[in-house]
Chains A and B, each alone.
Chain A
């Protein structure tokens, strides 16, 4: 399922998004960051994973209606989508064990994965991104920074 754009731009950099909204991921907060970053994301293909629940699908359709972004909702696991992506973005709760961060890093794919209320012993990146875990504008700024040429 695709919302907006031409959808098939194979040469465009793809951004893999964990849109799960649950007690371990904050997909709706990530979608809010996309609203804010939208003017800077038009040249990218967004691939939304874990986005099949009705509230998240509706939020993505709403995002596309408002911003015109090109968002593909994928049925594939996030780990598979990451393999072809240029950036992985997620907002986790307490830890990131459910995210394919290790495989992404092995492939040298940049990851932005702030963690809300990280458990003791969380990786260094969790504290660096503490603000972005709760503030969509800060997360949007991180994304734009990572995508800068």
Chain B
């Protein structure tokens, strides 16, 4: 079919319902055909763009140039049983997660130049199971380590041997944080250490308003709080910090992003006790609306015991919101604590409260940090630059002379 991108594909094993995965695929496609193998039955996010059903090499050969392949072959008998591997936290088992047998079947059918698993506990573990089936017939394997995938799970005994097995088999690991390179070495990985890169790839700064077009942070009266609470998030710690700093926050609206149900219910107690305007913020499917909201915020408070470099932090740095985050993410690799944001222990709620109070009352502090933080993310989170680096990584792994058509 005319317009098709010929050649063997990149097989991306990832969450179909992840905006980060979709943005990554959009960032790298064009040089090679890309086929997404979904790790769950979630709906494909619209950010992925046009998709093309792929069940065989013939389907792939007919795929239009602008499309992303979507592996959707009906499962065969040996793909029915879940892999005997630990489930990610929040899942009772791996029943809802793609099987290694499915990855192996896609590999045999499509003969990809490279398998790229985006995230570890769903995609990486399924690729491990496929690798164990196929052995040397498995293609080159790039593993993206998102957020807490290694930093947190390497502390859980059930997951450690699986992470070791992954680390021994991958050809390269792409981390969000320089911090995690050491963890991979400890797990037995002896491949190349690639420069860290955010899981979200990057954003188009040409489409993002400059700080000069936004209100100065010191004039903003909105505080955003990340609402995750459970295995890694500690949103209720952040609300306790707001409670301790309440005397200085009367002029502010406090909105909780992606509030878990118990956080939303507890928010009313915090609001009533302190006489503050605290409420969950509705989810915005439109990313531009989410960006506009961040551009209205004076500060963002994100507390958790594990993270990578959160997209919320990067968006805050891009749009002038003073970040207050935990030292269990890799914020220190992006900003200077105290000068550009607050980075503290998630257990030090009093310290977080003091940081909130300072950001609410020190106009010079938040205004001075904004241009520095913007410059940092413009230099390290740009989609064009990061896309070129990602394709270079792919080329390096695939090796010279194999497959790619002209871009």
A→B interface (CB under 8 Å): 22-23, 26, 28-29, 32-33, 35-36, 54-55, 58-59, 61-62, 65-66, 93-94, 116-117, 134-138
Is B385 part of the contact surface with A, judged by Cβ < 8 Å? no
Complex Cα spacing A65 to B347, Å: 16
| Interface locus among B29-37, B67-75, B129-137, B149-157 | B149-157
Name the CB-closest residue of B to A65. B155
Interface size bucket, B side? 20 to 34
| CA A36 to CA B346, docked complex, whole Å | 11
B231 in complex: contacting residue of A32, A58, A66, CB < 8 Å: A58
Contact in complex: A54, B244 (CB < 8 Å) = no
Residues of B with C-beta under 8 A to A135: 240, 244, 349-350
Q: Apart from A55-B89, A136-B348, what are 14 other A-B pairs with CB-CB below 8 Å? A: A22-B262, A23-B265, A28-B237, A29-B349, A32-B234, A33-B347, A36-B347, A58-B156, A58-B231, A59-B305, A62-B152, A117-B270, A117-B273, A136-B347
CB-defined contacts of B156 to chain A, threshold 8 Å: 58, 61-62
Residue of A nearest to B244 (CB): A134
Contact A61 B237 (CB under 8 A): no
What is the minimal beta-carbon distance from A70 to any residue of chain B, in angstroms? 15
Q: Determine the residue in chain A with the shortest Cβ distance to B261.
A: A23
Q: In the assembly, what is the distance between CA of A54 and CA of B244, in Å?
A: 29
B90: A residues at CB distance < 8 A: 54
- Please measure, in the bound complex, the distance between the C-alpha atom of A55 and the C-alpha atom of B234, giving whole angstroms: 11
CA distance A69 to B240 in the complex (A): 26
Nearest residue in B to A22 (C-beta to C-beta)?
A: B262
* A65 shortest CB reach to chain B, Å: 4
Taking a contact as CB atoms closer than 8 A, the residue among B234, B243, B272, B350 that contacts A28 in the complex is B234
CB-CB nearest in chain B for A58: B231
Output the nearest chain A residue to B153 by Cβ-Cβ distance. Answer: A58
**In the complex the two chains form, is B269's CB within 8 Å of A61's CB?**
no
Contacts of B237 in A (CB 8 A): 28-29, 32
A29 touching B240 in the complex, CB below 8 Å, given contacts A61-B156, A62-B152, A136-B349: yes
Residues of B within 8 A of A136 (CB): 347-349
Task: Decide if B338 is an interface residue (CB 8 Å cutoff).
Answer: no
Using a CB–CB cutoff of 8 Å, the interface residues on chain B facing chain A are: 89-90, 152, 155-157, 229-231, 234, 236-237, 240-241, 243-244, 262, 265-266, 269-270, 272-273, 305-306, 345-350
Q: Are A54 and B89 in contact (CB under 8 A)?
A: yes
Asked if A62 contacts B305 (CB within 8 A), the reply is yes
Chain B residues with Cβ below 8 Å from A61 are 155-157
Residues of chain B contacted by A93 (CB below 8 angstroms): 266, 269
**CB contact between A134 and one of B89, B229, B243, B348 (< 8 Å): that residue:** B243
CB neighbours of B234 from chain A (8 A): 28, 32
Given A54-B231, A58-B231, residue A35 in contact with residue B347 (CB < 8 A): yes
Which B residues are in CB contact (< 8 Å) with A28?
A: 229, 234, 236-237
- A-chain residues with CB within 8 Å of residue B346 when the two chains form the complex: 32
User: Is B269 touching A137 in the complex (CB atoms < 8 A)?
Assistant: no
Task: Please indicate the chain A residues that have their CB under 8 angstroms from the CB of B270 in the complex.
Answer: 117
Q: Which 10 A-B pairs have the closest CB atoms?
A: A32-B347, A134-B240, A65-B155, A55-B230, A55-B231, A35-B347, A117-B273, A58-B231, A135-B350, A117-B269
Residues of A within 8 A of B345 (CB): 35
CB atoms of B349 and A32 under 8 A apart: yes
Query: Is there an interface contact between B350 and A138, defined as CB atoms closer than 8 Å?
Result: yes
Q: How far is the CA of A61 from the CA of B241 in the complex (A)?
A: 25
A53 to chain B, nearest CB (A): 9
Is the beta-carbon distance between B348 and A137 smaller than 8 angstroms? yes
Whether A58 contacts B89 by the Cβ 8 Å rule is yes
Residues of B contacting A32 with CB < 8 Å?
234, 237, 346-347, 349
| CB pairs A–B below 8 angstroms (10 shown) | A29-B236, A33-B347, A35-B345, A35-B347, A55-B89, A58-B152, A116-B240, A135-B349, A135-B350, A136-B347
A137 to B351, alpha carbons, bound, how many Å?
Answer: 10
Q: How many whole Å from A135's CB to the nearest CB in chain B?
A: 5
Give the Cβ gap from B96 to chain A, nearest Cβ, in Å.
Answer: 15
Min CB–CB distance B287 → chain A (angstroms): 28
CB distance from A71 to the nearest CB of B (A): 13
Residues of chain A with a CB closer than 8 A to B241's CB = 134
Q: How far is the CA of A34 from the CA of B156 in the complex (A)?
A: 18
Q: How far is the CA of A65 from the CA of B306 in the complex (A)?
A: 14
